[in-house]
Amino acid sequence: MSTLLETRGMTKRFGGIVATDDLDLEVREGEVLGLIGPNGSGKTTTFNLLTGFLTPDSGEIRFRGEDITDDRPYHVSRRGIGRTFQTAKPFSQMSVYENMLVPAADVSGGAREEKARRILENLDIDHVADNDAADLSGGQKKLLEIARVLMLDPELILMDEPGAGVNPALMDDILDRIRQLNDQGRTFLIIEHDMSVIDEITDRVTVMNAGTAIATGPFEEISEDERVKNAYLGS
Amino acid sequence: MSGESIRAGIDRTLGQLSGDVRSAKGMFMLALLLIAAVSPLLVSRHWVGIIIQIAIYALVVLSWNFIAGYFGLFTFAHAALFGVGGYGTAIVAAEYGVPPMLAPLLGGLAAGLLALPVIVPVLRLADDYVAMVTLAYAEILHRAAIILDGITGGPTGYTGIGSMFGGGQLVFFYFVLAVVAGLALLQYGLLVSRFGLIARAIRESEDAAQMLGNNTIRFKTIGFVIGSSIAGIAGGLQAYYIGIVSPPMMALTQMIDFLAMAVVGGLGVMTGPVAGTVIVHGSTEALRQIGDIRLLLWGILLIAVILYFPKGFMGDDRFWDRIEALLDRFRGGSS
């Protein structure tokens, strides 16, 4: 598997706090990589750095070998990196269908509308296309976020806690969608606190603690790692 | 933008418009426009003057709503830029002999240019901070108009602008109505296009809009400059309407009047500013004869609107749904 996204020595400080500390991270093409760690370990900051909402103080970020360290979010997105947020951010005063037309997809007019309909159908939320996004359930909002991201045909999708605020039945549905999209060749980087989800869905896991990656490997392997146990247990 | 995409934009705008004017809100707007258009036959010169003022203010509030209601950028610099447009128009007309029909366009350009310095902090800030920084900028422009008396005429204002159409009220009335309707249609066309969709997305979550590949900074800059320029053009019309441009036009009290019109009409609704201006300015003028007690009545009216129409008169969907149902019954009965 070739490297799709990597960071080298990525450091971000907020005043005296080091949010990411000389972080090396590698996402391989076609995999589902989990990013786990205790609260405050720098996972969401890492996502914000990878997607251009923050710029690292030092180090670099490469996507397909190209330096994207100073890219703004819309550049990152146009390069083929999609992102969903920890708290789903549907445009709630728009219909589901209108939400699908916001992405700057490289198709326009009728083709854009056709693509939007097709994606909504594939994710089984086409029956709520004309509803206000505000009226969707927590799980449907997460699916809508995925659907919107798919309008841009991303190679890599970053998901920040896809399970947050979703009932267990719909969570299974979301996991099925992730698997299906992964089978179609899309790569995923997923932050998740629910270890059963991580165990079920990921090929590899990177564990962060105090802004740095302390272990990477298959879930069964890293769950036995002493450094990981210490990080979670705080000993 | 190619000729083809402009044509497609015009087609889309007209297509959407032909549907929207059949709605209850659309018919209400059409009725207001028709009443305004025939009003010189029905009312005194004094009231024709008031309708001119309502039309100019409606244009300012429409352009504020374009920035604040759609992009969510609550600018307080709008009255100041309305004044900049007034001064710009008056100065190019009086000092450089620019024809009256062209001068307000240059006033709009001046307002667009003077909007640029405040855009930089506006783009970096959110919500309340946008209000604060634009309020400070408005005060700078307002003070500058007072201090730079060699250019602006100082506290007493700039006179000598001359008149449009030789001072004929009726031609000026229809000219103002046409300019306001044309610029309202331009804003409508932008708001029903992809541009408007992205503006609404930015208002709800700029992070999500950016992460979906949209250069939100570019959209916000364009929106802010267009809205400010339109306020500047309205300032140019105002300069010709009252024949003087003076600092109170740029003052915070004027901005608060515009905000009252926007809130009463409804934010983020294209028809809101027109209705809000008619209600607020129309009632202020109608009650003028009864003396200072009108301020009390006006306050009560404002509270009543906010209580019964918290989203503004045009923003209350339940009310308009009921009107729509009544219209449907009428349409059904007449077919």
CATH code of residue A83? 3.40.50.300
Report pLDDT digits (tens) over B178-232.
999 999 999 999 999 999 999 999 999 999 999 999 999 999 999 999 999 999 9
Which amino acid makes up residue A163?
G
Q: Does the beta-carbon distance from B210 to A74 stay under 8 Å? A: yes
Q: Does the beta-carbon distance from A78 to B213 stay under 8 Å? A: yes
Domain count, chain A: 1
Domain span including residue A166:
3-89+154-233
Q: Does the beta-carbon distance from B207 to A85 stay under 8 Å? A: yes
For the CA atoms of B262, B112, B129, A132, the dihedral, rounded to the nearest 10 degrees, stands at 50
Is residue A13 included in any domain, yes or no?
yes
Report pLDDT digits (tens) over B63-117.
999 999 999 999 999 999 999 999 999 999 999 999 999 999 999 999 999 999 9
Count Cα neighbours of B254 within 13 Å in the Cβ-side half-sphere: 21
Q: What are phi and psi of B165, to 5 degrees?
A: 55, 35
Report pLDDT digits (tens) over B119-145.
999 998 877 899 999 999 999 999 999
Is residue A95 included in any domain, yes or no?
no
B-chain residues near A149 (CB < 8 A): 212
A-chain residues near B211 (CB < 8 A): 51, 73-74, 76-77, 82-83, 85
Q: Does the beta-carbon distance from B201 to A74 stay under 8 Å? A: no
Inform me whether the C-beta atom of residue B221 falls under 8 Å from chain A C-beta atoms. no
Which amino acid makes up residue A214?
I
Measured in angstroms, the CA of B187 and the nearest CA of chain A are apart by 19
Report pLDDT digits (tens) over B241-282.
999 999 999 999 999 999 999 999 999 899 999 999 999 999
**Contact predicate A54/A44, CB 8 Å:** no
Find residue A36's DSSP bridge partners.
A207
Cα B304 from Cα B296, distance rounded (Å): 12
Measured in angstroms, the CA of A100 and the nearest CA of chain B are apart by 10
Percent of chain A past pLDDT 70, that is, above it, reads: 99
Q: Which of B12, B211, B215, B221 to mutate to test the interface with A (most CBs of A within 10 A)?
A: B211
Average pLDDT over residues A36-54: 94
Q: Could you tell me the pLDDT band of residue A151, with boundaries at 50, 70 and 90?
A: very high
Cα B90 from Cα B102, distance rounded (Å): 11
Q: What architecture does CATH give domain B15-37+45-334?
A: Orthogonal Bundle (1.10)
Is residue A20 included in any domain, yes or no?
yes
Measured in angstroms, the CA of B274 and the nearest CA of chain A are apart by 22
Inform me whether the C-beta atom of residue A132 falls under 8 Å from chain B C-beta atoms. no
Q: Does the beta-carbon distance from B200 to A94 stay under 8 Å? A: yes
Quick one: residue B154, left, alpha or beta (phi over 0 = left, psi -120 to 50 = alpha)?
left
Percent of chain A past pLDDT 90, that is, above it, reads: 71
| pLDDT for the residue numbered A228 | 81
**Contact predicate A207/A15, CB 8 Å:** no
Measured from the Cβ of residue B240, the count of other Cβ atoms closer than 10 Å reads: 28
**Contact predicate A13/A57, CB 8 Å:** yes
| pLDDT for the residue numbered B107 | 98
Q: Does the beta-carbon distance from A91 to B201 stay under 8 Å? A: yes
Provide the angle, in degrees to the nearest 10, between the axes of the packed helices B216-242 and B45-65: 170
What mean pLDDT, rounded, does chain B reach?
Answer: 91
| pLDDT for the residue numbered B11 | 82
Inform me whether the C-beta atom of residue A105 falls under 8 Å from chain B C-beta atoms. yes
| pLDDT for the residue numbered B47 | 94
Q: Does the beta-carbon distance from B197 to A102 stay under 8 Å? A: yes
Average pLDDT over residues B159-167: 86
Measured in angstroms, the CA of B205 and the nearest CA of chain A are apart by 7
Inform me whether the C-beta atom of residue B201 falls under 8 Å from chain A C-beta atoms. yes
Inform me whether the C-beta atom of residue A101 falls under 8 Å from chain B C-beta atoms. yes
SS3 (DSSP) at A60: strand
Task: Tell whether ipTM is more than 0.95.
Answer: no
| pLDDT for the residue numbered A234 | 59
**Contact predicate A158/A84, CB 8 Å:** yes
- How remote is the C-alpha of A180 from its chain's centroid? 16
Beta strands A204-209; A187-191: pairing state: unpaired
B-chain residues near A104 (CB < 8 A): 212-214
Q: Does the beta-carbon distance from B212 to A78 stay under 8 Å? A: no
Cα A168 from Cα A165, distance rounded (Å): 10
Measured in angstroms, the CA of A175 and the nearest CA of chain B are apart by 22
CA distances from B248 to B109, B136, B139, B156, B278 (A): 21, 16, 11, 10, 21
